[in-house]
């Protein structure tokens, strides 16, 4: 058969698809450079560069199959042969490093003949009857065949000798056809080097060799985490996305940003017409460097889920059924209700909640609507319930409410402390980068009540795991400080130069008191003193040491105190202001950093400037043409309290589900039920919408332009790849409400909103859509001093001037265990699901997590007569719920744990009203509970299931009407 007849080879190139150059091997970071000649061209490259990469950089492409620049060179396919003057043979260019004065020939008759011969063997082992399967994909194998000029294959295409156990379709998102595998090992290496899961191996030898998942299992049954790195790496289409097979070859693409977590992975949205065919991680994405997790890469189907609401709806009372209305009627009704309520109950009787799922531009507009059109400062955001203590703690100590580093910084860390975070589930792409550094030899300290995966995973072993009792973070951090101070491990030079010495001295005097010693703290934290001492010594003396922390730090009554305790440790040891160190909050939602930056808190305008500052307010007033209230407004919990008290009557909620995400569900429900007009703007009828009078359908990240800001302060573009199915981007809906309320808010495009943000916010002064297009992303501060942004902060001094040591005395939470509630509940996320699950539950990701389970230690389970899988009642003084038990030693005796992704569990029914003293961030991570056997769901859970069935019927009716 002639290869030129092959439909794949004949497929015309579609030029509007973004194609990234594959340099074949990773970039060498050596400082010394080497000059050589390749095909007569002189080129200088860093020492350690492969000949293949040097050639690519000189514009000379050498055929390759087993090499890709995401992976270390492997040298198995023998296609990239070259000749080197003065050396015998034909070495592989991917595994041969450059040398000074080297003269390389990449193409001559002999090399062509050798390559053709190798290629012919590969192609003959690639059965043509399955070429249809890869017709639409970019298949390097066939492109390379064309590149080496192979037109005829003497041995046929049947691949008859190849071991072929049949196609594995078990994964919901991709398939694996061993018949097309050339055993290049790219998938295996991607799983190891990029993802760090080590789920794939090559089993067997010679023609019997084959890629095997786990212990030769189906992909779905193995440890594979479905990150898709193997699919991306496969050059033959043996591993391929099911959507590519179903929908066909993508025709065009745009770079955009994942709408799930705060890692902020950049993707190419590859499209066919206005349909997404696949999401491919973008190599130039500076947060993810070409990697992704199962959510961003595969779980985007919710955009077309049949339960998505596309038409506005109204109802007079929350007990009535919804009535579909036009956009005009919905907006007019919303505005007139807001105005009526303000006339009757006063200007402060209404407010708004911005969304960390929406863009910066959309968030900015919601707070503008509240401040300028509503005329008060009753605006808040979901960061209230997650990282508000980070904002407070880091602003107080360093002067800026944000993490200090970029993600690249982890590549320079020698000691990594993970505190109250579970990166492999919560921030998986960053976890992969962290694990890579750990495999290179960095040391790991995990401080967490659970034995999270990082404590012990393939080729990663924590040097110390501190399984503290929930609620004792501050005690542990202070005990670590005690060791640093009393054992003479303070970096005095750094502290004297960079920090306030008097404040340091006061702090040092307090932490060195015997009550803060590891021996004393061991009694309250359950962590042995020697473990605390060892961890503290390693942190202080192990080289570049970096803290990465999550909600296990912030969601406590001492959340802000713990953030400041981390900052104190970093300053005392000089671990601030250079790559490899720092204090790094792992932010939860895609744009939680951005929503805080944009002025979503009731006391702050954009850029964290206090509303009471006359000069700042004057700037906004001049541009917006409205006087602004100088008094901070209500936080979410205060709005709900005021609603129950009868003084707060209406709320505009953009893209949040506060009924599910906020603590003490019964209180949230009571607050919402007491209001006269609740407006919910979302993709789906979420739980909060059960209490809404107006439902405004929202748009997905695929349907609008804008920006998200990730955990490293990186502002990244979100690009519209399809028209909004609901008719409007969320920013347009806010503008419509504002106009209807009589406050003019008109923009032709979100870029104009960013221009306004830049005019009003010094840390964003240099940001524009044009610059984002040019640079790809920008880390704020971006202004005259740093026109291209700031990867690492506080390099030559703290933003606030001198670093501030704050005394962080440990105060035990009021939430105590006792005879009635003897166990401590803590909560967290799982890899496949996202927060309240509104999106991920509407994708095939449910396959991995169909229900929330309660993790309980075997000892506690046995005492209560609970077996694995039994229904159990989880009760606290706030409420109770039922779920099934998972017996595991991941949790210590006395501690239980659950996720909160499923509304029919609603873990927040049991969480209490306690919150962080400084920011009101709820104490989700410590609830005293009792666990007992139960017969199944509670009464409210049964009622809830009925409600869900009803709302599904509404969605189905709407769909049928369309």
State the residues that interact with ligand SF4 by CB under 6 A. 181-187, 211, 233-234, 236, 238-239, 258, 260-261, 263-265, 288, 292-293, 295-296, 428-429
The residue among 77 and 581 lying less far from ligand FES, judged by its C-beta, is 77
Contact 347, 376 (CB under 8 A): yes
Q: Does 894 bind ligand FES (CB under 6 A)?
A: no
- Residue 415 binding result from ligand SF4, ligand FES, none, given CB thresholds of 5 to 8 Å by partner type: none
d(CA 823, CA 861): 11
In which residue are the tokens 């490259």 written? 45
Segment contacting ligand FES by CB under 6 A, of 59-67, 82-90, 333-341, 676-684 = 59-67
Q: How far is the CB of 102 from ligand SF4 (least distance, A)?
A: 30
- Residue 412 binding result from ligand FES, ligand SF4, none, given CB thresholds of 5 to 8 Å by partner type: none
- Residue 79 binding result from ligand SF4, ligand FES, none, given CB thresholds of 5 to 8 Å by partner type: ligand FES
Q: How far is the CB of 239 from ligand SF4 (least distance, A)?
A: 5
Q: What does the DSSP 8-state code read for residue 395?
A: H
The residue among 79 and 139 lying less far from ligand FES, judged by its C-beta, is 79
Q: Does 67 bind ligand FES (CB under 6 A)?
A: yes
d(CA 570, CA 675): 46
Token duo for residue 570: 């970093």
Q: How far is the CB of 423 from ligand SF4 (least distance, A)?
A: 9
Q: How far is the CB of 402 from ligand SF4 (least distance, A)?
A: 18
Q: How far is the CB of 187 from ligand SF4 (least distance, A)?
A: 3
Q: How far is the CB of 427 from ligand SF4 (least distance, A)?
A: 6
Here the contacts of 325-329 (C-beta below 8 Å, separation 24 or greater) are: 327/727, 327/728, 327/736
Q: Which residue in the set 28, 55, 64, 200 belongs to the binding site for ligand FES (CB under 6 A)?
A: 64
- Residue 396 binding result from ligand SF4, ligand FES, none, given CB thresholds of 5 to 8 Å by partner type: none
Q: How far is the CB of 287 from ligand SF4 (least distance, A)?
A: 7
Q: How far is the CB of 568 from ligand SF4 (least distance, A)?
A: 30
**SS in 3 state form for 69-110?**
CCCCCCCCCCCCECEECCCCCCCECCCCECCCCCEEECCCHH
d(CA 868, CA 55): 59
Contact 369, 343 (CB under 8 A): no
Contact 41, 164 (CB under 8 A): no
In which residue are the tokens 């075997």 written? 858
Helix orientation angle between 518-525 and 473-486, rounded to the nearest 10 degrees:
170
Q: Does 75 bind ligand FES (CB under 6 A)?
A: yes
d(CA 175, CA 219): 9
Q: How far is the CB of 267 from ligand SF4 (least distance, A)?
A: 8
Contact 475, 481 (CB under 8 A): no
Token duo for residue 894: 């006395």
Contact 815, 912 (CB under 8 A): yes
Q: Which residue in the set 80, 134, 188, 382 belongs to the binding site for ligand FES (CB under 6 A)?
A: 80
Segment contacting ligand FES by CB under 6 A, of 61-69, 311-319, 445-453, 882-890 = 61-69
The residue among 68 and 349 lying less far from ligand FES, judged by its C-beta, is 68
Alpha helices in 512-635 (DSSP H): 518-525, 529-541, 551-554, 559-572, 592-597, 614-624
Q: Does 538 bind ligand FES (CB under 6 A)?
A: no
d(CA 680, CA 441): 49
Q: How far is the CB of 295 from ligand SF4 (least distance, A)?
A: 4
d(CA 615, CA 633): 19
Q: Does 147 bind ligand FES (CB under 6 A)?
A: no
Q: Which residue in the set 34, 70, 92, 394 belongs to the binding site for ligand FES (CB under 6 A)?
A: 92
Determine which helix (DSSP H) or strand (DSSP E) holds 545, and give its type and residue range. Answer: strand 545-549
Segment contacting ligand FES by CB under 6 A, of 69-77, 97-105, 261-269, 678-686 = 69-77
- Residue 841 binding result from ligand SF4, ligand FES, none, given CB thresholds of 5 to 8 Å by partner type: none
Q: Does 77 bind ligand FES (CB under 6 A)?
A: yes
- Pick the closest to residue 930 from 818, 814, 855, 853 (CA basis): 818
In which residue are the tokens 């890869």 written? 134
Q: Could you tell me which residues are beta bridge partners of residue 798?
A: 801
895-899/853-856 β-pairing: antiparallel
- Residue 92 binding result from ligand SF4, ligand FES, none, given CB thresholds of 5 to 8 Å by partner type: ligand FES
d(CA 17, CA 145): 21
Q: How far is the CB of 76 from ligand FES (least distance, A)?
A: 6
- Residue 372 binding result from ligand FES, ligand SF4, none, given CB thresholds of 5 to 8 Å by partner type: none
Token duo for residue 615: 């000069």
- Residue 236 binding result from ligand FES, ligand SF4, none, given CB thresholds of 5 to 8 Å by partner type: ligand SF4
Q: Could you tell me which residues are beta bridge partners of residue 213?
A: 200, 217
Q: Which residue is nearest to ligand SF4 (CB)?
A: 296
The residue among 298 and 539 lying less far from ligand SF4, judged by its C-beta, is 298
- Residue 239 binding result from ligand SF4, ligand FES, none, given CB thresholds of 5 to 8 Å by partner type: ligand SF4
Q: How far is the CB of 68 from ligand FES (least distance, A)?
A: 9
Token duo for residue 442: 């960095």
d(CA 945, CA 777): 43
- Residue 65 binding result from ligand SF4, ligand FES, none, given CB thresholds of 5 to 8 Å by partner type: ligand FES
Q: Which residue in the set 51, 79, 141, 907 belongs to the binding site for ligand FES (CB under 6 A)?
A: 79
Contact 182, 148 (CB under 8 A): no
The residue among 36 and 134 lying less far from ligand SF4, judged by its C-beta, is 134
Q: How far is the CB of 224 from ligand FES (least distance, A)?
A: 25
Q: How far is the CB of 835 from ligand SF4 (least distance, A)?
A: 11
* DSSP character string of 617-678: HHHHHHHHTS----S----HHHHHHHHHHTS--EEEEES--HHHHSS-HHHHHHHHHT-SEE
d(CA 28, CA 34): 12
Q: Does 66 bind ligand FES (CB under 6 A)?
A: yes
Q: Does 78 bind ligand FES (CB under 6 A)?
A: yes
Residues numbered 617 to 636 that lie near ligand FES (CB under 6 A) are none
Q: Does 145 bind ligand FES (CB under 6 A)?
A: no
Alpha helices in 827-938 (DSSP H): 858-864
Q: How far is the CB of 95 from ligand FES (least distance, A)?
A: 6
# of chain residues touching ligand FES (CB under 6 A): 12
Classify residue 528 by burial, with Cβ atoms within 10 Å: 0-12, 13-18, 19+: middle
Q: Which residue in the set 8, 94, 183, 383 belongs to the binding site for ligand FES (CB under 6 A)?
A: 94
Residues in contact with ligand FES by CB under 6 A are 64-67, 75-80, 92, 94
């Amino acid at each position: 058969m002639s290869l030129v007849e092959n439909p794949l080879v004949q497929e015309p190139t579609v030029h509007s698809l973004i194609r990234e150059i594959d340099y074949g091997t990773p970039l060498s970071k050596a400082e010394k450079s080497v000059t050589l000649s390749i095909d007569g061209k002189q080129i200088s490259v860093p020492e350690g560069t492969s000949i293949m990469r040097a050639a690519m950089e000189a514009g000379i492409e050498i055929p390759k199959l087993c090499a890709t620049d995401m992976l270390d060179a492997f040298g198995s396919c023998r296609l990239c042969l070259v000749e080197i003057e003065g050396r015998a043979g034909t070495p592989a260019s991917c595994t041969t490093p450059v040398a000074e004065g080297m003269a390389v020939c990449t193409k001559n008759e002999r090399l062509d003949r050798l390559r053709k011969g190798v290629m012919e063997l590969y192609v003959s082992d690639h059965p043509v009857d399955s070429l249809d399967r890869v017709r639409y994909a970019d298949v390097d194998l066939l492109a390379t065949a064309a590149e080496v000029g192979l037109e005829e294959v003497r041995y046929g295409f049947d691949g008859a000798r190849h071991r072929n156990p049949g196609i594995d379709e078990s994964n919901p998102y991709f398939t694996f056809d061993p018949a097309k595998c050339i055993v290049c090992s790219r998938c295996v290496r991607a799983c190891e080097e990029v993802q760090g899961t080590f789920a794939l191996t090559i089993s067997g030898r010679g023609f019997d060799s084959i890629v095997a998942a786990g212990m030769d299992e189906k992909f779905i049954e193995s440890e594979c985490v479905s990150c898709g790195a193997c699919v991306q790496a496969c050059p033959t289409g043996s591993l391929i996305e099911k959507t590519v097979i179903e929908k066909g070859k993508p025709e065009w693409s745009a770079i955009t940003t994942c709408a799930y977590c705060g890692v902020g992975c950049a993707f190419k949205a590859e499209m066919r017409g206005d349909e997404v065919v696949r999401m491919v991680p973008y190599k130039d994405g500076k947060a993810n460097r070409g990697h992704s997790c199962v959510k961003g890469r595969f779980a985007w189907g919710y955009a077309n889920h049949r339960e998505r609401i596309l038409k506005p709806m109204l109802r007079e009372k929350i007990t009535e059924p919804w009535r579909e209305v036009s956009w005009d009627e919905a907006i007019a009704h919303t505005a007139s209700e807001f105005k009526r309520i303000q006339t009757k109950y006063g200007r402060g009787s209404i407010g708004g909640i911005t969304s960390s799922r929406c863009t910066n531009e959309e968030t900015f507009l919601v707070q503008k609507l509240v401040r300028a059109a509503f005329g008060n400062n009753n605006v808040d955001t979901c960061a209230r319930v997650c990282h508000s203590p980070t904002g407070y703690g880091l602003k107080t100590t360093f002067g800026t409410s944000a993490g200090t580093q970029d993600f690249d910084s982890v590549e320079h860390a020698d000691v990594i402390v993970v505190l109250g975070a579970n990166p492999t589930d919560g921030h998986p792409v960053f976890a992969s980068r962290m694990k890579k550094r750990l495999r290179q030899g960095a040391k790991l300290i995990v401080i967490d009540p659970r034995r999270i995966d990082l404590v012990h995973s393939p080729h990663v072993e924590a040097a110390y795991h501190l399984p503290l009792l929930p609620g004792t973070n501050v005690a542990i951090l202070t005990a670590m400080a005690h060791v640093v101070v009393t054992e003479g491990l303070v970096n005095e030079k750094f502290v004297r130069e960079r920090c306030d010495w008097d404040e340091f001295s006061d702090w040092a005097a307090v932490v060195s008191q015997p009550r803060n010693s590891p021996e004393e703290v061991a009694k309250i934290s359950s962590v042995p003193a020697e473990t605390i001492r060892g961890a503290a010594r390693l942190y202080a003396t192990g080289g570049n040491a970096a803290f990465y922390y999550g909600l296990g730090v912030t969601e406590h009554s001492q959340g802000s105190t713990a953030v400041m305790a981390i900052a104190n440790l970093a300053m005392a040891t000089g671990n601030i202001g250079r790559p490899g160190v720092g204090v790094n909050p792992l932010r939860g939602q895609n744009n939680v950093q951005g929503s805080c930056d944009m002025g979503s808190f009731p006391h702050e305008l954009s850029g964290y400037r206090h509303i009471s500052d006359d000069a700042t307010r004057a700037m906004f007033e001049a541009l917006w043409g409205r006087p602004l209230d100088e008094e901070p407004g209500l936080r979410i919990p205060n709005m709900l309290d005021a609603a129950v008290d009868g003084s707060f009557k209406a709320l505009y909620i953009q893209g949040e589900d506060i009924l599910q995400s906020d603590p003490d569900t019964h209180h949230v429900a009571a607050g919402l039920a007491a209001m006269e007009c609740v407006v919910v703007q979302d993709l789906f009828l979420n739980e909060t919408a059960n209490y809404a009078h107006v439902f405004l359908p929202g748009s997905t990240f695929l349907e609008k332009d804008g920006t998200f800001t990730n955990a490293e302060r990186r502002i990244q573009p979100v690009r519209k790849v399809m028209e909004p199915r609901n008719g409007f981007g969320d920013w347009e809906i806010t503008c419509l409400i504002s106009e209807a309320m009589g406050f003019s808010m008109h923009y032709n495009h979100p870029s104009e909103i960013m221009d306004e943000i830049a005019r009003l916010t010094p840390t964003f002064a240099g940001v524009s859509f044009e610059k984002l297009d040019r640079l790809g992303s920008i880390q704020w501060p971006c202004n005259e001093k740093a026109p291209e942004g700031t990867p690492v902060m506080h390099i030559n001094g703290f933003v606030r001037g001198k670093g501030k040591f704050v005394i962080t005395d440990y105060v035990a939470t009021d939430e105590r265990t006792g005879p009635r509630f003897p166990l401590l509940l803590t909560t967290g996320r799982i890899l496949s699901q996202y927060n309240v699950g509104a999106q991920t539950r509407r994708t095939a990701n449910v396959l991995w997590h169909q229900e929330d389970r309660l993790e309980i230690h075997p000892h506690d389970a046995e005492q209560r007569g609970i077996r694995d899988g039994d229904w159990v009642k989880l009760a606290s003084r706030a409420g109770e719920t039922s779920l099934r038990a998972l017996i595991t030693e991941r949790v210590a005796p006395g501690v239980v744990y659950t996720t909160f992704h499923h509304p029919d569990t609603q873990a927040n029914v049991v969480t209490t009203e306690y919150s962080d003293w400084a920011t009101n961030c709820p104490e989700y991570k410590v609830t005293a509970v009792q666990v007992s056997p139960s017969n199944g769901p509670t009464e409210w859970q049964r009622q809830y299931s009925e409600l869900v069935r009803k709302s599904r019927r509404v969605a189905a009716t709407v769909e049928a009407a369309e």
